[in-house]
Structure 1
């Protein structure tokens, strides 16, 4: 039987004495699309940060491919990436932003890979590659941030309200690019969104959270 990609056991996140997330067990498998639904403050962003290995839970165990994430933290971090609602870009050109992770990993053929990643998110490589970070609209910046993650072909792409502040065209391009990553590279998607019709349409299952607890899985 294949091991889950990520597994949570008896995970608790406590801030200032208050439990904001409490999950007894959760498995996420390779290639799945998981929706996260719930009101603001329900624990979606907290869960995403734990799944991204950005925050360690106060209690419990998080495993990646059957091993605790503390065993090989560097290797695990390179396989999981988080796209937040407000994109963070380096104060550099679009090309430099998308190429950054490739250079850190000492990959080859960087220009071609950046070109292809920009095409995937609906941005013309010739005109956008030389643009600086401050020359981008909000939707363009979000798609550059997505390209910078897709170019690494992660095992898991976590998305926190990825289309909430985007115009209709940028939102649709973002959705399509994420789904192509799953179809082409087997990337597992975990998407927190208030867009329930979209989650119902694309997700293999949707996890409903309220007050940090899983109330339903559909």
Structure 2
């Protein structure tokens, strides 16, 4: 059984239809890439999969339960990393631990250290630093560590390597691949970096003007 099944899902912003997905199934543990031009609907689809937006029409079945369901409960299993993630004005450790504490998870410090190590940040060097002292690549990796620490069932990534150097992109690839291998985390990733995206994904969905397409982008 697929973890996600979308049936006749559409989304509208005002009078403009921005997404139309007649059918989409995502298997648990899969790594699906999303490709398409800016404005093709990738970010909208990710927000719908994260249960941060309710589609205008259609049905989403998640883990066998049809929408609307309990969106708050579903969000406990799904997390989205945006291109420009927001971090709290506090230490790296508190940023990474924040989601765990909200969820009442145990072994917070141990999980924070492991997550930072997974993204190539030495906990002894970085955990006590202010988030505002970090470079762009370090900020993105801290934001990813915060999501990995929650051990999500689904990890959604929107342009995770945009503006990052090659080394940071490799570290992010290794971290999300490890989450899939070790925890069975389902990955859905939107990126314009085709070589990077193809190296992480085992299937690909191309969107063109909000709809699945076979055309090359």
Give the TM-score band, short-chain normalised.
Answer: over 0.9
Instruction: Quote the residue 2:168 is aligned against.
Output: 170
The normalised TM-score by structure 2 is 0.96
Asked whether the 8 Å contact 2:35–2:207 carries over to 1, the reply is yes
Aligned pairs for 1:36-75 (under 5 A) are 36-75=34-73
Q: Secondary structure at the match of 2:55?
A: coil
Instruction: Quote the residue 1:16 is aligned against.
Output: 14
Instruction: Quote the residue 1:102 is aligned against.
Output: 100
Q: Secondary structure at the match of 1:25?
A: strand
Q: Deviations over 1:44-84 (max 9, x none)?
A: 01110101110000111112111124322222101000001
Instruction: Quote the residue 1:91 is aligned against.
Output: 89
The normalised TM-score by structure 1 is 0.95
Asked whether the 8 Å contact 1:206–1:217 carries over to 2, the reply is no
Asked whether the 8 Å contact 1:21–1:211 carries over to 2, the reply is yes
Deviation at 1:201, TM superposition (A): 2.7
Asked whether the 8 Å contact 1:52–1:81 carries over to 2, the reply is yes
Asked whether the 8 Å contact 2:4–2:61 carries over to 1, the reply is yes
> Partners in 2 of 1:203 and 1:114 — Cα distance?
26
Asked whether the 8 Å contact 1:90–1:133 carries over to 2, the reply is yes
Instruction: Quote the residue 2:195 is aligned against.
Output: 197
Asked whether the 8 Å contact 2:158–2:189 carries over to 1, the reply is yes
Change (3 A) 1:217 1:100: farther
Structure 2 unaligned segments of length 5 or more: list them: none
Q: Could you say what the CA RMSD is over the residues aligned between the two structures, in angstroms? A: 1.4
Q: Deviations over 1:24-62 (max 9, x none)?
A: 110111110000001111110111010111000011111
Deviation at 1:217, TM superposition (A): 9.4
Runs of 4+ displaced beyond 4 Å: none
Matched residue pairs, number? Answer: 216
Asked whether the 8 Å contact 1:207–1:217 carries over to 2, the reply is no
Instruction: Quote the residue 2:126 is aligned against.
Output: 128
> Partners in 2 of 1:154 and 1:28 — Cα distance?
16
Does 2:31 correspond to 1:33? Answer: yes
Which one of the candidate residues 140, 143, 153 is aligned to 2:141?
143
